[in-house]
Chain A
Amino acid sequence: MALGLEVILIFVGALFLTGIAVYFISVYNGLVRLRNNIKKSWGNINVLLKQRSDELPKLISSVKGYMKHERETLSVLTKARTDFLKAKTMSEKAEADGLISGALKTIFAVAENYPNLKANENFKQLQERISGLENELADRREFYNDSVNNFNIRIESFPDMFVARMMSLKPQEMFKVSDGDTKDVDVKFD
């Protein structure tokens, strides 16, 4: 083979191998980053869930004097908080989170019927704080699900799936809150 052709073939081969190596490293690092994004975004949800859970006893004690007829709602909230504190897995936490969100919606809706409670400064501050946390939680759940979605698409796409298989990566679960959990708790007015 002529020298020139040999050099060109070696050059093309070297570029090809460099391209493959860079691609492999990039896919590998990308998958590691995506996996860590999921862990991090779950950690970020947990921080807010914990902050909201810490505010609940204050909320319950500030409303129970006014909402004497909504004991059921308050007990649902107390139970959901206990479930959340006991929860170990993501699905258990998601379930407790949904129950808490539903009960909170009910409490804030029902509070409209209690002018004295609505005027209470402490309640107003707690409502503002908890509503703020609820909004941030909604954003972070969405962010978590986006991270999981990116990861799941990537590990099932060609040709990234080969690197994902080598790394034994499995699709991750979305943060699902069932419709039943987020429904307002039924309140019976006496």
Chain B
Amino acid sequence: MSEGNGFLYAVAGFFFGLFLFYRGIRAFMRKRLIENIPTSKIRSIAMGMVEIFGRVEPQTAKKILRSPMSKKDCVYYKYKVEEYRSSGKSGHWVTIDKGEKGLPFHVRDDTGVVLVDPKGASVDIPKDFHFSTGFRKKEPETLLSFIKESGIKYNFGIIFKKNMRFSEHFLAPNDRCYVMGEAADNPFVEDATGKRNADDIMIRKPESGIKYYITDKGEKEILSSLNRAVLGGLILGPLLSIGCLLIIFLYTGINI
């Protein structure tokens, strides 16, 4: 590492530490919000900010999507295609295609069912499909059909394949689902015509600007991952920044 590079890394590390600190604060605020809202039973859901937990169901048998890479039935998906680009001795991954699609779907708990519109939500679900190209690695048929449909240039020459990775996340019927959002009027039914209370309600992105959150984790898992983000951000962030600041001073010759 040359001296100039070291200085630049230290400056980058300083700002990255500040970014971690900022993320820690955001995670702390979100953790507080989740802790403050008790989980509602769907049967008795009331208008306003709510938190529900249940299982995914498509709105109707026809209102279902097909995930693009693994061709699985789902109500929401997002995908990403990345390509490795080399420059000299180093290289980095570049996103060359990504997409997301969702349909309103139902969430059912042991008391009832409610409609959820995933538009505008921060959807936190693990990867359901992942494939990296490699020597003698055979691509699944469903992935080859996705590559063909989306017109991605996958090969160079006749034999060689580019160094690429494909990932896909989706919410499938019967998946666990935690939703924190705003319960509002259901635009698909006339006011107060629903047989049950929850029929007149749809959960959507809050108008107040509070983050709309959908995940397949349980509340305890969400809180423990936020706890890690809070501790990591508020402790490691400042430590990293201070460490990098010391290095910057060494480079610039400022006395400590």
Inter-chain contact B43/A136, CB cutoff 8 Å: yes
A26, CB-defined interface residue at 8 Å: yes
Does A186 interact with chain B (Cβ within 8 Å)? Answer: no
* CB closest chain-B residue, reference A34: B36
The reply to whether A37 and B46 contact each other, CB–CB distance below 8 Å, is no
Among the 9-residue stretches B172-180, B215-223, B237-245, the one with 4 or more Cβ atoms under 8 Å from chain A is B237-245
Q: Are A22 and B25 in contact (CB under 8 A)?
A: yes
Q: Which residues of B contact A136 (CB under 8 A)?
A: 43-44, 197
Closest to A43 in B: B46
Q: Which of A3, A7, A136, A140 has the most CB of B within 10 A?
A: A136
The answer to whether B46 touches A41 (Cβ under 8 A) is yes
Residues of A contacting B191 with CB < 8 Å? none
| A74: min CB distance to chain B, Å | 28
Task: Kindly identify which residue among A30, A48, A137, A146 contacts B32, using a CB–CB cutoff of 8 Å.
Answer: A30
Q: Does B246 interact with chain A (Cβ within 8 Å)? A: yes
Q: Which of A8-16, A101-109, A166-174 is near enough to bind chain B?
A: A8-16
| B residues 21-62 in Cβ contact with A at 8 Å | 21, 25, 28-29, 32-33, 35-41, 43-44, 46, 48
Query: Which residues of chain B have C-beta atoms less than 8 A from A132's C-beta?
Result: 196
Residue of A nearest to B48 (CB): A40
Bits for A77-105, please: 1 = Cβ < 8 Å to B, else 0. Answer: 00000000000000000000000000000
The tally of residues in A whose CB lies under 8 Å from a CB in B reads 34
Alpha-carbon gap, A85 to B21, bound state (A): 54
Quick check: A2 and B255 within 8 Å, CB to CB? yes
Q: Which residue of B lies closest to A44 (CB)?
A: B46
Q: List, in ascending order, chain A residues with CB within 8 A of B238's CB.
A: 12, 15
Set B29, B37, B242: member contacting A26, Cβ < 8 A: B29
Inter-subunit contact B46/A140 (CB<8 Å) = yes
Contact check, B44 vs A139: say whether CB atoms are below 8 A apart: yes
- Which residues A128-185 have CB closer than 8 A to chain B? 132, 135-137, 139-140, 142-143, 146-147, 150, 154
Choose one: B29, B48, B197, B249; the contact of A4 (CB below 8 Å): B249
User: B226 within 8 Å of A by Cβ?
Assistant: no
Given contact pairs A8-B242, A12-B238, A26-B29, A150 touches B38 in the complex (Cβ within 8 A) = yes
Q: Given the complex of chains A and B, what is the CA–CA distance between A59 and B92 in angstroms?
A: 72
User: Can you list 16 pairs linking A and B with CB atoms under 8 Å apart?
Assistant: A2-B256, A4-B254, A7-B245, A7-B254, A8-B245, A8-B256, A11-B241, A22-B25, A33-B36, A37-B38, A135-B43, A136-B43, A143-B41, A143-B44, A147-B38, A150-B35
Interface residues of B (CB under 8 A from A): 21, 25, 28-29, 32-33, 35-41, 43-44, 46, 48, 111, 196-197, 234, 238, 241-242, 245-246, 249, 254-256
